[in-house]
Amino acid sequence: MARAHSRIESALADLEREGTLSAAQRAAVGERLARALREGRGFDVTAIVASFGALLVAAGLLYLIGYNWEALPKAAKLALVFGIWIALHGAGFALAEKPGTHPRVGRALTLLGVLSFGGAIGLVAQIYHLSAHYPNAILVWWALSVPVVLVTRSRAILVAVMAIGILWVAWCTGVWTEDRPRDDERLWMANFTLVGVAVAAAFQALAALAAGGSQERLEPVLRSPVLVLASAAPFVLAFHEPWNHGRERTPGRDLVPVVVAVVCAAILLGLANWRRGFRAARDGWILIGVALLLGLGVLAAPGAVPILGNVVLFGGALALVALGVRESRPNLATWGMFLFAAGVVARYFEYLWDKLEGAYAFLATGSLFLVAAFLFENRRRALAARTKGASP
């Protein structure tokens, strides 16, 4: 916070020297921005306290209900389950929107209402002895929670809804893979990692759609898991051991989850392209291309998948560094350097660890980490200096 305040003061001083702001205007703007920074810091603390309070109250209610659960009739169980759920959303809306006197507490209650809906679905299934092979309940939970995000525009609620969506996608992928006659390690690796790349492209598209609109404050949250999800596929597929057990081709029907995820992501990217232009959706299209490239490798040449994974891993890491430097985005370049270092360490353990013994292994590993840290820090300092020099 102190660093951000210092940068703001420096920028305001530059504007005053250039004549854009008068001394009085600079003082007024500085005071307003400082107040906004203080309020932002207080918001986090208040939201955390409110969230913990809501969770503890919910835990107490669940304890009381669970203790007397067997003695309650079905009608009373349903009334309790949905009554608490409706009450949480009602109280959250009243506190956050109308009259909106305590927005942080209201958002915490609404978040608790979103999370409790999953429990309500599970309890209804338990009451009526319902079951489903596929995780359709998670899909219903996610789909009915999305409107809450659009109405509240709450980042905390968006994080919860994104987590529910990722859980549903992962569960569906796991169920599909488990049901395949050809169930092996390579099939699990390919499906989960490539579906992750497609999900990353979908989040990129949603972030592009949110930018510049009424949901703009949600854009950073939507972009936050993109790099992690997109990096998992080349990093995991670059390990050679699983692909050495057999070189037979993978039937296309075994990658149906990947195809479905890519198609859904492409639809969202097409919509983002139409609304915001190709530049806004560019990174998502690159991710779709990576998923297709790796997927074709899995289908056509399983033995070459580790080579392809390493090319994408290290090429992508260098591309992220170059893009971060060119566009003055240190976080992007930092992730690229971290990904490159992680790839080097992974290849070291994969190919050289068994050839070393005892102290030599520890000495070599420690030296590798120290060299990587030294190079990493040098690169970060150079990038920070270049970014500072490029700023007005």
> Domain-by-domain residue ranges, the chain?
21-131, 162-300, 303-392
Cis check: omega of the bond before 99, within 30 degrees of 0: yes
265 near 198, Cβ under 8 Å? yes
Question: What's the CA gap between 223 and 232, in Å, rounded?
Answer: 16
Please give the residue that has the higher pLDDT: either 168 or 392. 168
Q: In what helix (H) or strand (E) does residue 2 lie, and over which residues does it extend? A: helix 2-18
> Is the predicted pLDDT of residue 193 greater than 90, yes or no?
yes
Q: How far is CA 347 from CA 96, 230, 365, 370, in A?
A: 51, 19, 12, 17
Of the candidate ranges 120-124, 197-201, 243-247, the one whose mean pLDDT is the lowest: 243-247
Residue 105 CB neighbour total at 10 angstroms: 20
What radius of gyration do the chain's Cα atoms show?
Answer: 25
Query: Which of the listed ranges 4-13, 248-257, 370-379 does the model predict with the highest average pLDDT?
Result: 248-257
For residues 163-176, one letter each, b for 16 or more C-beta atoms within 10 angstroms of the residue's C-beta and e for the rest, the string is ebbbebbbebbeeb
What are the tokens at 361?
Answer: 């292994």
Question: What's the CA gap between 158 and 111, in Å, rounded?
Answer: 9
Give the closest residue to 260 by CA, choosing from 172, 354, 321. 172
281 near 272, Cβ under 8 Å? yes
Please give the residue that has the higher pLDDT: either 209 or 245. 209
Question: What's the CA gap between 326 and 309, in Å, rounded?
Answer: 25
pLDDT at 1: 47
Question: What's the CA gap between 290 and 277, in Å, rounded?
Answer: 21
pLDDT at 387: 54
54 near 46, Cβ under 8 Å? no
> Is the predicted pLDDT of residue 6 greater than 80, yes or no?
no
pLDDT band at 230 (very low <50, low <70, confident <90, very high): very high
The residues near 325 (Cβ < 8 Å, ≥ 6 apart) are 333, 383, 386
What are the tokens at 320?
Answer: 């992220």
Cis check: omega of the bond before 135, within 30 degrees of 0: no
> Is the predicted pLDDT of residue 267 greater than 90, yes or no?
yes
What are the tokens at 28?
Answer: 């007024």
Query: Would you call 122 helix, strand, or coil by DSSP?
Result: helix
Of the candidate ranges 100-104, 156-160, 177-181, 301-305, the one whose mean pLDDT is the lowest: 100-104
The most distant pair of C-alpha atoms in the chain lies apart, rounded to whole Å, by 76
Share of the chain above pLDDT 90, in %: 27
pLDDT at 68: 67
The residues near 233 (Cβ < 8 Å, ≥ 6 apart) are 193, 194, 196, 197, 290, 291, 294, 309, 312
Question: What's the CA gap between 148 and 141, in Å, rounded?
Answer: 12
Of the candidate ranges 30-44, 92-106, 199-213, the one whose mean pLDDT is the lowest: 30-44
For residues 142-159, one letter each, b for 16 or more C-beta atoms within 10 angstroms of the residue's C-beta and e for the rest, the string is beebeebbeebebbbbbb
Global confidence as pTM: 0.76
What are the tokens at 145?
Answer: 């929670």
